[in-house]
């Protein structure tokens, strides 16, 4: 009987040691078995249970999730997110920034002014103005989008000009461009018109109103020297175009 009593007392003593401890849980999931000595407005002071006579530790409340005391009560310091054990914590997937995506495919209208050269002379000989109205459409493909919102673009702008003067002057421009997060863009590429091929340079931006975007683009096709049986030989003249349109947010 005495041996049984001694064994029972030993078991109760061990259980008492096991439960006479506080459990501190950090927001990162780390758990520390401790004896909490002081809790003030910003800090918690404790000693670790595996070294009760060791150094005094201090933890900021902002780093802690909760303390479970030896008497069974729990003190929560944050109710935002329950931490997972460090060994089970998952690395969250990196999400792409939520930048507004805009359908820049859409109608375009504007005008083109033709500088001195064979094209202007050809129009003048037929009693036509060197400033022509343009109607058309922009087709766009986004090639890539960086984390900072910058996009690489491939654009086609197809236009029909001169209809207000009873003429049909088609043109097509292919642009390789870059558009920033704020909507500013720059592009360069070949231009094809009735005067022959050339190189186009374009810059632009957009104005937002609700879910609508109104792009504004300025394009320049520098003059080139041509031997042309239609408009004549010599420099074709600089062409400057201003186009506006409307698109919807995706």
Q: State the pLDDT confidence band at 89, using cuts at 50, 70 and 90.
A: very low
Q: Convert the pLDDT of each residue in 168-223 to its tens digit.
A: 999 999 999 999 877 899 999 999 998 889 999 999 988 888 778 889 999 999 99
Q: Convert the pLDDT of each residue in 52-70 to its tens digit.
A: 888 999 999 889 999 998 8
- What local confidence, expressed as pLDDT, does residue 96 receive? 47
Please give the Cα distance from 34 to 125 (Å, whole number).
97
Please give the Cα distance from 177 to 175 (Å, whole number).
6
- What local confidence, expressed as pLDDT, does residue 83 receive? 54
Q: Where are the beta strands (DSSP E) in 146-195?
A: 151-161, 169-179, 185-193
Work out the mean pLDDT of the chain and round it to a whole number: 82
Structure tokens at 167: 């003429």
Q: Does 13 score more than 50 pLDDT?
A: no
Residue 31 CA from chain centroid, whole number: 38
Please give the Cα distance from 38 to 71 (Å, whole number).
16
Q: Does 50 score more than 90 pLDDT?
A: no
Q: What is the DSSP string of 19-47?
A: HS-EEEEETTS-EEEEEEEEE-SSEEEEE
Structure tokens at 47: 């000693």
Averaged over 30-43, what is the pLDDT? Answer: 91
pTM value surpassing 0.75: no
- Most confident listed range (16-25, 61-70, 93-102): 61-70
Please give the Cα distance from 158 to 134 (Å, whole number).
10
Contact indicator for 148, 117 with CB cutoff of 8 Å: no
Contact indicator for 182, 176 with CB cutoff of 8 Å: no
Contact indicator for 33, 23 with CB cutoff of 8 Å: yes
The CATH fold of domain 106-248: Porin (2.40.160)
Q: Convert the pLDDT of each residue in 127-148 to its tens digit.
A: 999 999 999 999 999 898 888 8
In the chain, what percentage of residues exceed pLDDT 70? Answer: 78
Please give the Cα distance from 128 to 230 (Å, whole number).
15
CA atoms within 13 A on the CB side of 128: 22
Domain residue spans in the chain? 2-87, 106-248
- What local confidence, expressed as pLDDT, does residue 226 receive? 80
Averaged over 95-119, what is the pLDDT? Answer: 79
């Amino acid at each position: 009987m005495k041996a049984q009593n001694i064994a029972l007392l030993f078991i109760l003593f061990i259980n008492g040691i096991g439960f006479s401890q506080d459990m501190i849980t950090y927001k990162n999931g780390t758990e520390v078995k401790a004896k909490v000595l002081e809790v003030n407005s910003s800090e918690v002071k404790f000693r670790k249970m595996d070294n009760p006579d060791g150094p005094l530790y201090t933890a900021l409340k902002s780093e802690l999730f909760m303390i479970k005391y030896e008497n069974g009560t729990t003190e929560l310091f944050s109710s935002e997110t329950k931490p997972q054990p460090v060994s089970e914590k998952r690395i969250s997937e990196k999400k792409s920034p939520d930048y507004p995506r805009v359908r820049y495919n859409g109608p375009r209208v504007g005008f083109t002014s033709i500088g001195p050269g064979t094209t202007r002379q050809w129009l003048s000989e037929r009693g036509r103005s060197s400033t022509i109205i343009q109607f058309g459409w922009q087709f766009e493909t986004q090639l890539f989008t960086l984390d900072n919102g910058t996009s690489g673009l491939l654009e086609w702008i197809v236009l029909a000009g001169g209809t207000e003067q009873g003429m049909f002057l088609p043109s097509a421009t292919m642009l390789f461009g870059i558009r920033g997060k704020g909507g500013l863009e720059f592009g360069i590429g070949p231009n094809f018109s009735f005067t022959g091929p050339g190189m186009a340079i374009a810059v632009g931006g957009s104005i937002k109103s609700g879910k609508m975007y109104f792009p504004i683009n300025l394009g320049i096709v520098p003059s080139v020297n041509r031997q042309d049986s239609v408009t004549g030989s010599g420099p074709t003249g600089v062409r400057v175009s201003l186009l506006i349109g409307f698109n919807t947010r995706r």
